[in-house]
Every structure is written in C-alpha cells, then in structure tokens.
C-alpha cells in the first residue's frame, strides 16, 4: 500500500503507524550520443533550487533521471498521480547542466510516484498491538521498498509463522509508531 497505508485505518477501525508521503519525479531521455554506463548521484544547486538527482544510463541507450520531490497531497489512488511539469523540466535541465552529452537530449517520458515516509524515517514491520485479532504491517520503506522487500517479506513471514524472525525486528516494532 506504500503511501496509502493510512487508508487501512478505516478498514480495520484501528490505529496503524502514520505513513506520510512525498511525490518524486523521474524522466527518461535519449541523449544525442551514447553515454558511459556510470550512475551519478549528484548534490545539485542552482537558481532553480537544490536537489539530489540520480542519473542512470540504461542498456537501451536511454538515461533515467530521478529526483525533485514535493509534498503535493496524496491522491485517492495511484491512478490519479500526476507529475509537476516544472519538476520534469527541472530534471531535464539538470541532465543538460551536469553532462554536455545530455545537453539537447530528447525527453521521452516523465512521471511521478509517491514515496511512503514514516514519521521517524524507520519502517514499521511487525504485529499491530491491541488489535482484536492478529494484524501485521510492513510499511514505510521510502525509496528503499523494492530493495528491502525480499528481506522484509522473509522476516515478516517468519514472525507470522514462528512468532519470531531471524533478525531482531524490535527497531521496527509498530507499537513504537502508534
């Protein structure tokens, strides 16, 4: 559910950890000439503002650039997520400014997504306390959700089946966030 985790409060009639959201933007561009396969993690400052864009060349010759977040309110569902065109244009300018090879690149597409942000920047993983049955949660991984999903799923499954997991999940205990 990611940034929409708070909707589950209505389903269960029980308080769950609060998961906020920020909107992140990304573009795909086609450079005028091939680029090296090196990813860039940039601390970028300009008159347009500060940002930490990431640049990822792809095997098909395109380049993926992400960054430029904002706190536009979360829409009702993911199908309603719309990017901010100025943020997409900003990322395109960043590409041109950090690499002459990306200058004049063709903007292929641009999108936005919402990242789930827990209040304390720590995901909630485990059993929800004081619920009339057993209710488990794994939410709030921010941009690391896809990377951490296998380990989170494995340890949450162990917790559900065996009552404990291979690692100490106490730092992620949902009771700390409610």
pLDDT, one tens digit per residue, over 56-111 is: 999 999 999 999 999 999 999 999 999 999 999 999 999 999 999 999 999 999 99
Cα dihedral sign, 153-156-161-165: positive
Neighbouring C-beta atoms of residue 142, cutoff 10 Å? 19
Phi, psi of 84 (to 5 degrees): -90, 120
pTM of the predicted structure, to 2 decimals:
0.88
Which contiguous run of DSSP H or E holds residue 154? helix 145-162
pLDDT at 10: 87
Which of helix, strand or coil describes residue 124? strand
Average pLDDT over residues 46-53: 82
Average pLDDT over residues 134-154: 93
**pLDDT band at 47; cut points 50, 70, 90:** confident
* More reliable by pLDDT, 27 or 10: 27
Which of helix, strand or coil describes residue 62? coil
Query: Is 16's pLDDT higher than 90?
Result: no
Query: Is 145's pLDDT higher than 80?
Result: yes
Query: Is 48's pLDDT higher than 80?
Result: no
């Amino acid at each position: 559910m990611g940034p929409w985790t708070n909707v589950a409060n209505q389903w269960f009639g029980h308080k769950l950890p609060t998961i906020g959201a920020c909107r992140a933007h990304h573009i795909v561009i086609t450079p005028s000439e091939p680029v090296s396969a090196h990813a860039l993690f940039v601390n970028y400052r300009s008159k347009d503002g500060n940002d930490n864009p990431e640049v990822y060349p792809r095997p098909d010759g395109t380049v993926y650039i992400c960054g430029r977040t904002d706190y536009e309110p979360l829409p009702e569902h993911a199908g309603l997520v719309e990017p901010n065109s100025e943020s997409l244009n900003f990322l395109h300018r960043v590409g041109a400014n950090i690499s002459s090879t990306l200058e004049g690149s063709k903007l292929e597409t641009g999108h936005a997504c919402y990242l789930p942000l827990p209040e304390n920047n720590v995901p909630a993983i485990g059993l929800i306390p004081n619920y009339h049955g057993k209710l488990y949660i794994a939410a709030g991984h921010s941009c690391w959700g896809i990377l951490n999903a296998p380990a989170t799923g494995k340890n949450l499954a162990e917790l559900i089946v065996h009552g404990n997991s291979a690692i100490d999940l106490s730092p992620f205990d949902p009771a700390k966030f409610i």
